[in-house]
Amino acid sequence: MGEIHQFPKTAEEQEAERQLTEAMHTFNVAIKHAVQCGFEIELRPGTWSFTTYTDMPVPYIDFTARLSGRHV
């Protein structure tokens, strides 16, 4: 079996990875705090189909946060 050698990431790729990791950590902390304060959280995955920078759909997460018993 052959060995797998990964190419080093560019500075731009490293920064994108760092930003994504930081954003996900911040998002998870915010969700946890909102739930502790009584919010009901609903997450919905989606995709942006029309982008100019890739042929593939780009995933995103949409969410709703509402307090129990307080529906508009």
How much is the pLDDT for 71? 58
Whole-structure pTM over 0.85, yes or no? Answer: no
* Residues with pLDDT less than 70, the chain: 1, 70-72
Q: CA distances (Å), 53 to each of 2, 46, 48, 50, 61, in order?
A: 33, 18, 11, 9, 19
pLDDT attached to residue 51: 76
pLDDT of residue 72: 55
**What is the predicted pLDDT for the residue at 12?**
95
* Per-residue pLDDT at 1: 63
